[in-house]
Structure 1
Amino acid sequence: MSDDFDDFALPDPPVMAMGSDATFDQAGIDALFGDLSAPTPTKVGVKAVIESNVISHERLPMLEVVYDRMVRTFATSMRNLTSDAIDVSLEEISTIRFGDFMSRVMLPAMIGVFRVEEWENYGLISVDSGLIYAVVDALLGGRRSAAPLVIDGRGFTSIETGLVARMLELALSDMSAAMMPITPNTMKLERIETSPRFAAIATPTNICAVATFRVDMEGRGGKFSVLLPYATIEPVRHQLGQRFMGEKFAGDNVWEAHMASEIRNTQVMVDVVMGEELLTLQQISEFKVGDTVTLHQSPNDALKLQCGGVTLGRAHIGQRRNNIAIRLVADLAKEIRA
């Protein structure tokens, strides 16, 4: 039996020019998203912007100062931990997308996830396998050998994870102390992961600041990296963008004096409330000339002194040189605090 729809043909979809409001033609789609049918698609349009390797970022000079101080203190901390001659150096500070950084982590590795309490966000410390085995070897009393370690691909034991966690806690403590003169912070190591999938603290396209350190332990050692997403350091980006430490505490004396003088010369309208009475709209509509409203105030009572509806203090009303005057009976500052 033949199909009833064999002779049924759909009309071709309308092809509109790029300037039309109805739809795009194939050339317009390729110009916007790139020609995906090509063997090596050319990145143009929106696709080129999203997948661009060029990252425009703001320099953070104070973050470089923090890492430089951290190098000196962390080297001392590691010498006290391992009793070995240890040299710590800062190799580079770069900016990279979070997804690109996670894809470049060489496994096996340990990734420490830490939280900054004041910023309410997270950061990462990744430790490569060479430094992991060097720290474990040093803390467990292994022989000092310059021969390269053979990585067998096995998972890390709880003892190895615990020993590396001690090193990461020292690094976070020294980093927190180095950043304390700039902004108060509390960094705590929350967990250690061995798979980048479980250490995703940001989206793949987020921009991050990465500092790479190298630790040399008499022929042994390796690298570790500290990653801070720009979303994490957003609360203190202004402080980290300063050019020198004193800029945080410096004030503009000229503008401060100008502001103080202008505030003192500002004219303010002050109201003295004789009394208040709650009336209905019906009562107000029935007012006539000569009616009296009782305010339940005596001539000796202190009246409210208000500005913009806010009570500033209390004062007595009187007369001076044929003018109505008031005399304060309470300090304005005390009344405002109360």
Structure 2
Amino acid sequence: MMAEEDDFEDDDDADDMAAQWAAMLDDEDEDDSESQQKGADRVLSQDEIDNLLGFNAEQGHDGETSGVRAIINSALVSYERLPMLEIIFDRLVRLTTTSLRNFTSDNVEVSLDGITSVRFGDYLNSIPLPAILSVFKAEEWDNFGLITVDSSLIYSVIDVLLGGRRSSSSMRVEGRPYTTIEMNLVRRMVEVLINDAEAAFAPLSKVTFNVDRLETNPRFATICRPANAAILVEMRVDMEDRGGKVELLIPYATIEPIRELLLQMFMGEKFGRDSIWEGHLATEIYSAKIGVDAVIYEEMMPLSKVMDFKEGQTLMFETAPTDPIYLKCGETIITEGQLGQRDRNVAVRVMKDLRKPKTTLASFEHAEQPNPMES
């Protein structure tokens, strides 16, 4: 009976322990479910959303992007990789200021609002209408560009050229197509702009821009695929109390022929080649002293035969006194000559021109070349 009572007590202890473990597991499951519920109900703050998408107000436009924004912009070429573009467009602004002053006979100030890299399709969709889009062709580069003139600048230029009254608010007529006179006046202004663009690119590369057509519908001004990258230059034209914006868009495919020139940090930069250093190096090389060997006879023989040479042995050369000998510099044969005697000294008369190396630098031809016969 005592043994049976002990068995019953052991079973009760085991049941109590199992119940305690089950209660502990239930508490842990409840804690996990509550934490998961709290995580699901948690709402991200605006800062966390901006960091996730890669938008940071502190970095601005020039800072490095991250997150989803970096993935989207990874395939977009940045104009900052072409340093010469800023110099060219700054020159364009200065030239345009002078040209538009002469064109309108008014006090005109042109300022550069910004240079950005955009997708061509996104730019067409963002053009505020009405506007006039001028398609021009770069003849030497065999591709096209686009100039967009907004309505405010169009009506301001028309008022100035036709003697209209000065008004603080630009006149904008909605729903009316531009007349022939307005289109011709805008064409004249666009011709002034592209002539200045030619002058801006002239120090870097000669190019001719010709107006191809004027369009009022962006769909008819397509010059490349919508996904292609392009450079957008925004310029602000102020004529005292009126003015507007003009935008110059050049696809990267258009400036591809001069891409190497645009990679320069400054005008006239040399990449891996300095003519001054080449000329100096060529002059020093030509004035350097080298040793030249006159080889009368040369033969390959086994080492065992050479080891059998004895003192006083005579070696016979299979050559005649009239046979040519070779002049060698190291292992390179530079010319041929004939053995002779001059002033009781053994001499060699050069019979052929020097053998030039296969690869030569152009600067070596302009350097001072001493006469090889004198040395």
Q: TM-score, normalized by length of structure 1?
A: 0.61
Match 2:94 to one of 64, 72, 78: 72
Q: Equivalent residue for 1:200? A: 222
Report matched runs for 1:256-295 at 5 Å.
Answer: none
CA contact (8 A) 2:133 2:215 kept: yes
Report matched runs for 1:21-40 at 5 Å.
Answer: none
CA contact (8 A) 2:88 2:200 kept: yes
Letter of the structure 2 residue corresponding to residue 189 of structure 1:
V
Q: Quickly say closer, same or farther: Cα 1:80–1:327, change in 2 above 3 A.
A: same
Matched, 1:177 2:199: yes
Report matched runs for 1:90-109 at 5 Å.
Answer: 90-109=112-131
Match 1:57 to one of 61, 74, 78: 78
Letter of the structure 2 residue corresponding to residue 245 of structure 1:
M
Q: Equivalent residue for 1:244? A: 266
The C-alpha deviation readout for 1:190-243, integer Å capped at 9, x for no partner, is: 111111111111101111011000001121111011111111100101111211
What is the DSSP-based 3-state SS (H/G/I as helix, E as strand, rest coil) of the residue aligned with 1:78?
Answer: helix
CA contact (8 A) 2:156 2:170 kept: no
- In 2, Cα distance between equivalents of 1:164 and 1:181: 27
Q: Equivalent residue for 1:112? A: 134
Structure 1 position 131, deviation (Å): 0.7
Q: Equivalent residue for 1:161? A: 183
Q: Which of 146-155 and 178-187 deviates more?
A: 146-155
Matched, 1:213 2:235: yes
Letter of the structure 2 residue corresponding to residue 198 of structure 1:
F
CA contact (8 A) 1:239 1:248 kept: no
- In 2, Cα distance between equivalents of 1:98 and 1:137: 32
Letter of the structure 1 residue corresponding to residue 89 of structure 2:
Y
Q: Equivalent residue for 1:294? A: none
CA contact (8 A) 1:144 1:218 kept: no
- In 2, Cα distance between equivalents of 1:256 and 1:210: 42
The C-alpha deviation readout for 1:126-176, integer Å capped at 9, x for no partner, is: 111111111111111111111232322211111111101111111111111
Letter of the structure 2 residue corresponding to residue 97 of structure 1:
R
What is the DSSP-based 3-state SS (H/G/I as helix, E as strand, rest coil) of the residue aligned with 1:150?
Answer: coil
Mark the runs of 5 or more structure 2 residues left unpaired by the alignment. 1-52, 54-67, 291-335, 341-347, 354-375
Letter of the structure 2 residue corresponding to residue 52 of structure 1:
I
Structure 1 position 114, deviation (Å): 0.8
CA contact (8 A) 1:182 1:248 kept: no
Q: Quickly say closer, same or farther: Cα 1:89–1:207, change in 2 above 3 A.
A: same
What is the DSSP-based 3-state SS (H/G/I as helix, E as strand, rest coil) of the residue aligned with 1:247?
Answer: coil
Structure showing greater Rg: 2
Letter of the structure 2 residue corresponding to residue 202 of structure 1:
C
The C-alpha deviation readout for 1:56-96, integer Å capped at 9, x for no partner, is: 42522211111111111111111111111111100000000
Letter of the structure 2 residue corresponding to residue 138 of structure 1:
V
Letter of the structure 1 residue corresponding to residue 86 of structure 2:
E
- In 1, Cα distance between equivalents of 2:270 and 2:152: 39
Q: Equivalent residue for 2:7? A: none
The C-alpha deviation readout for 1:256-283, integer Å capped at 9, x for no partner, is: 6668969xx9xxxxxxxxxxxxxxxxxx
CA contact (8 A) 1:98 1:205 kept: yes
Structure 1 position 107, deviation (Å): 1.1
- In 2, Cα distance between equivalents of 1:319 and 1:243: 52
Matched, 1:86 2:108: yes
**Paired residues, what number?**
229
Question: How much is the aligned-residue C-alpha RMSD, in angstroms?
Answer: 3.1
- In 2, Cα distance between equivalents of 1:244 and 1:200: 33
- In 2, Cα distance between equivalents of 1:175 and 1:80: 16
Letter of the structure 1 residue corresponding to residue 139 of structure 2:
E
CA contact (8 A) 1:115 1:123 kept: yes
What is the DSSP-based 3-state SS (H/G/I as helix, E as strand, rest coil) of the residue aligned with 2:225?
Answer: coil
- In 2, Cα distance between equivalents of 1:156 and 1:111: 12
The C-alpha deviation readout for 1:286-319, integer Å capped at 9, x for no partner, is: xxxxxxxxxxxxxxxxxxxxxxxxxxxxxxxx99
Letter of the structure 1 residue corresponding to residue 130 of structure 2:
P
- In 1, Cα distance between equivalents of 2:191 and 2:145: 13
- In 2, Cα distance between equivalents of 1:199 and 1:245: 33
Q: TM-score, normalized by length of structure 2?
A: 0.55
Report matched runs for 1:294-309 at 5 Å.
Answer: none
Give the fraction of aligned pairs with identical amino acids, expressed as a percent. 46
Q: Equivalent residue for 1:225? A: 247
